[in-house]
Amino acid sequence: MAIPDPNQVHPNPAIQELVFLKNVITRPNIEVGDYTYYDDPVDPMAFESHVTHHYDFLGDRLIIGKFCSIAQGIEFVMNGANHVMRGASTYPFNILGGDWQAYTPELSDLPLKGDTIVGNDVWLGQNVTVLPGVTIGDGAIVGADSVVTKSVPPYTIVGGNPAQMIRPRFKDEVSQALLKLAWWDQDIHWITAHISALTQTTPTISQLNTWLAELA
């Protein structure tokens, strides 16, 4: 089997705009799983420039799972973008320096939302913006130009600004079986042998149960 190497930057030399994302990440507070790709015809190596307001001292992480498809124009807005909101003004006087620097808020004063998490086999369309602390579940699809302001359940299609549910991808029992299967965690040779079934056939409980029994 000629299987793409997850440790290569460009898995297909003929498509230079597409990179396996984990191989271009330098920040320790960004984690990306195998086979997740970023497609950007302008500068695919500059993914980290699309993860904004991401400061080490805040401790928040961007965690992206395996086999995700991420289109150009993605923007992950991290917790450093948040301002203190309990007073009459949200203006961040302290960052302008001078005597105002004395009014730097404590971390406990900031409305921190925690880590931003993208599950496995997630498709993020072009020009999607993801706000701090959001979790996008396994198998979800986010439509182009969407702004994701709240968490997205697994195997759900969302879109718009703010992103709203369009529809579930499958019946709930099928989605639960897919989550149990977690095909992205299986041996890459098993995945390769089942690509046609994984991508061309609507999953059924019968088929998923067969796979689960095979893998038990």
**Active-site annotation holds for 50:** no
Q: Where are the beta strands (DSSP E) in 83-187?
A: 116-118, 123-124, 129-130, 135-136, 141-142, 147-148, 156-159, 164-168
Distances in Å between the alpha carbon of 198 and those of 57, 111, 123, 214?
Answer: 41, 41, 15, 15
* Options 10, 50, 54, 83, the catalytic residue: 83
Q: Which residues pair with 148 in a beta bridge?
A: 130
Distances 59 to 21, 80, 81, 108 between C-alpha atoms, Å = 21, 10, 13, 13
CA distance linking residue 33 with residue 37, whole number of Å? 10
Beta bridge partners of 63: 31, 117
Give catalytic residue positions. 83
